[in-house]
A and B are shown apart, each in its own frame.
Chain A
């Protein structure tokens, strides 16, 4: 990013175009890797790379898990980029930032209210609280990491909705004879490469969508409201940008003080009436100012100095308050019911351990994306507020496929261990119990055997006992009663998922303190 005047090729217009090109490429790349992280997609080391580029997620995971993952070294790339170019990640690469740019209202719209500059310190507060909470092995606040927000929302809300819309269109048009062949060809093109074979369902999809819509709606208060004021990753990179090498400098001899740059600045860091002064911690290097300047007076050049402190920069008091908030928060979360007793239906993905999942999982939702049956769902309060949006298996919605080990393979932080298929097949995640008051055979004395039929184990964990029982009318009838051998059962949940009695005749319970 050289001075525009000294470089006749890279005009301000071209700089802006280059930035947009990089932004769209990065967003498309992110979406492509998201799509490719389906079961049977691309190599897992590749598809989860964006999350391992994320310095906030990786740093918090390092602190909380007390274990260095070699893959997390990728995050050093973004840190190095920031040391050189400041928050260029935010302006050029961050896929959520690009989504917010695309979804921005026209700049001409008057802001609804003039937000105070102090609001910028919220992101630092969030950052410190996240990192200090990580010291207390808590990663709950990573739900506010921009990459986890985007990936989770794509998985749980956006992509399933796109699938529904496309399916509805296909089904509506398919009866028209003339259109059948083209629709057939289209369907083969997009399934299963881009869309699932069968529709997947996610709990609280609307909640995730609402969160995301709210985040976008903040743009109407100020462009990139999220990035300016709230984003904890932006806060981290902003602090690093205090020492960044390449910065925006206004050539004083050229500046007329017209404030055209200040009006265009999407993060509002260029101050009005101060000859274009700005804060490197807030500047995303988007180069809109370069384009706005009628005299081409802006330059970006290497500077070796610490950036000027700003009134909204974190103060000692704020840091102490964050430590206090994190400590109190961790304390409260640790006195929640979930910290003492597992929810009976808390079933975790294969190999994940309740005692350390919370301190490893970065809440990215990659495992839910990879799960081919939709069994993996975001936890609501099963694991307490602390475990919100960590993965749980909900056999009501999907089962843990006996031939799949995708979640552990794709997890960027090994919160779900990367088990090979043979090991995964013998790793229990829960135990199935028959509810004899609901089971069709036990309660209604009719043969069903679906659970037994579905049990995927080489020697089935569900066996049938052909027994004479007395029914409600006092007649003796012969029924095949299912029984679970808990030693063999791995809790995959296909029995519950397929149970014709509305998934109530047999249920998978948490491994918890299981005697098996």
Chain B
């Protein structure tokens, strides 16, 4: 009886293994969805709406985000009822609280979660892949988890099984990379970086923040400008909201010294990540063309960096 049971077990195990092998074969045969659909990076803005909005002033982050989004045409312009939304803040390290400006302000994230939920989003997930420490711990220490859950969002720890290869047909140096698959499948992806000093890229902001969803980060540094722009060319971002409530001026991107943090109570919002990054560059005393990836992205036509030529609405509170 015992022997038979074991045989049964083995038989079932073999069936199970066969099934998984079949799944693997199916996927290997290219039956999966082709990646990198030739969608434009940003939805076409309506002519009467500003291309980029800057909200600043001594108000709560929540107020600044709401005012900025309202001026940009409302969250409904980007999020439709029933949408699956992913918000990608910068949670690059789990070393400090948000006051150190190494990670995105938790209330900025939470406000976006609430706005998306209010617009009827089916599901709003917040995620990043820290380079220092565990995601679970970083989510907690930065308080992004606490505020996101309170706002009705979900925190997701990126799972290694979900990373998939992404072809970058528009890429000039980086032609493919491995990114978190859900980012490609979500209806809406919102990039919520914090503006930080970075010794190679000068500025860590929206496009640089996308490195958090890819595996091959170390290889980016050898041509950081072009490769960051190449990566951005393949990610279907609908909206970028730059958290400049606090900015990190030195010892970025990890931070740790409050003397390097400057509180400037500013939120930048645009459907164009290149434009958002370009404006953020000026907050750190840089010109957009000083930042190699902004320069590369502009040359590729991914977005605009001519701040003088675009319609910018500045809100002072």
A residues in contact (CB < 8 Å) with B:
39-40, 167, 169-176, 179, 183-184, 187-188, 191-192, 197-199, 372-373, 399, 401-404, 440, 446-450, 452-460, 464, 480, 494, 498, 500
Contacts and interface: CB of A to CB of B under 8 A. Distances in A.
B65 interface: no
Interface string B208-246: 000000000011011000000000000000000000000
A367 to B, nearest CB: 16
A74 B26 CA distance: 56
Contact of A402 (B132, B156, B162, B253): B132
B157 A197 contact: yes
25 contacts: A167-B161, A173-B19, A174-B23, A174-B161, A175-B27, A175-B32, A179-B23, A187-B161, A188-B156, A192-B136, A192-B157, A198-B160, A401-B134, A403-B93, A403-B138, A448-B200, A448-B221, A449-B221, A453-B198, A453-B254, A454-B131, A454-B254, A455-B254, A459-B251, A459-B256
Contacts of B199: 449, 452-453, 464, 480
Contacts of B93: 402-403, 456
A40 B137 contact: yes
B265 to A, nearest CB: 23
Instruction: Name which of B32, B93, B160, B219 has the most chain A CB atoms within 10 A of its CB.
Output: B160
Contact of A500 (B159, B218, B253, B255): B218
A498 B218 contact: yes
Given A171-B161, A191-B159, A199-B160, 17 more contacts: A39-B134, A187-B159, A372-B134, A401-B132, A402-B93, A403-B95, A403-B132, A403-B133, A448-B222, A453-B199, A453-B200, A453-B253, A454-B132, A454-B254, A458-B251, A459-B256, A498-B131
Contacts of B26: 175-176
6 interchain residue pairs of minimum CB distance = A458-B256, A175-B27, A172-B20, A500-B218, A458-B257, A170-B161
Interface in B171-215: 198-200
Contacts of B94: 403
Contacts of A458: 251, 255-257
B23 A197 contact: no
B234 to A, nearest CB: 20
A449 B200 contact: yes
B134 A169 contact: no
B15 to A, nearest CB: 13
Contacts of B32: 175
Nearest to B185: A180
Contacts of A176: 23, 26-27
Contacts of B137: 39-40, 372, 403-404
A197 B200 CA distance: 29
B24 A404 contact: no
B286 interface: no
Contacts of A494: 132
B133 A450 contact: no
Contacts of B131: 454, 498
B21 interface: yes
A148 B95 CA distance: 32
Given A403-B137, A403-B141, A498-B218, A172 B21 contact: yes
Contacts of A456: 93, 95, 132, 254, 256
B133 A401 contact: yes
Contacts of B19: 173
Nearest to A199: B160
B135 interface: yes
Contacts of B221: 447-450, 500
A452 B134 CA distance: 20
B17 to A, nearest CB: 9
B304 to A, nearest CB: 27
Instruction: Name which of A179, A188, A198, A446 has the most chain B CB atoms within 10 A of its CB.
Output: A198
Contacts of A172: 20-21, 23-24
B133 A175 contact: no
B251 A197 contact: no
Nearest to B141: A403
Nearest to A404: B133
A500 B160 CA distance: 21
Nearest to B100: A458
Contacts of A402: 93, 95, 132-133
Contacts of B198: 453
Given A172-B21, A449-B200, A460 B251 contact: yes
B125 to A, nearest CB: 11
A498 to B, nearest CB: 7
A440 B161 CA distance: 32
B201 to A, nearest CB: 9
Contacts of B162: 174
A65 to B, nearest CB: 32
Nearest to B222: A446
B200 A447 contact: yes
Contacts of A188: 156
Interface in B24-66: 24, 26-27, 32
